[in-house]
Amino acid sequence: MADNKKVVLWVALGCGGLLFLSLATCVGVGYYAKRKITYEIGKDNPGLAEAINKGGITGAIKGSAGQLVAAGASMYGSMVLLTALPKEEQKAHMAVLERLVKVGPQLTTEDIEAIGKAMEHVQKPHEAEKSQPTADKVRAFFAEITPIAEKYEPK
């Protein structure tokens, strides 16, 4: 009977050891994969890599959302809005759009919503009238997004 207990104990220890090694291997591979992916992303997009490091998958989703909104606002702003401004004003506003793209991964949900509202304010009137936005509407748009772009340090 005592021998049976020893055999059961050794089998349990062996199975437990294998289970522990399996779990440790999974954790190690997962950690290595996350670091490798973050490193590769960080080459081209350090802000998104930082968002992944801080918040994991959730951080990646938030960082990507901010970057997409910033890129969309920048494209719309540079292709449509800047043309409504005099040449001497365009360079400064283009710098705001470029900065917004650089800080995109750092944007919060509130920032993303504020940029969306700024886009609505400038788009609705000229879409309804099938016209270009006025210089005053464009200046108001930049007045709304400039504090957001300047809130963060580009990475």
Confidence of residue 62 (pLDDT cuts 50, 70, 90): low
Q: Return the structure tokens found at 105.
A: 């991964």
Statement: residue 54 has pLDDT above 70:
no
Q: What is the pLDDT of residue 73?
A: 86
pLDDT one-digit tens code per residue, 88-117: 989 999 999 999 988 888 888 888 889 989
CB within 8 Å of 151: residues ≥ 6 apart:
103, 111
Rounded Cα–Cα distance for residues 6 and 98 (Å): 70
Please report, for the chain, the start and end positions of each structural domain, with discontinuous segments joined by +. Answer: 1-44, 59-155
Average pLDDT for 14-18: 82
**Region of poorest pLDDT, from 42-51, 84-93, 121-130:** 42-51
Burial grade of 122 (CB within 10 A; 0-12, 13-18, 19 or more): buried
Statement: residue 121 has pLDDT above 90:
no
The pTM (predicted TM-score) of the whole model is 0.60
Rounded Cα–Cα distance for residues 52 and 32 (Å): 14
Q: What is the pLDDT of residue 57?
A: 57
Q: What is the pLDDT of residue 96?
A: 93
Torsion of CA 125, 130, 131, 133, to 10 degrees: 30
Beta-carbon count within 10 A of 72 CB: 15
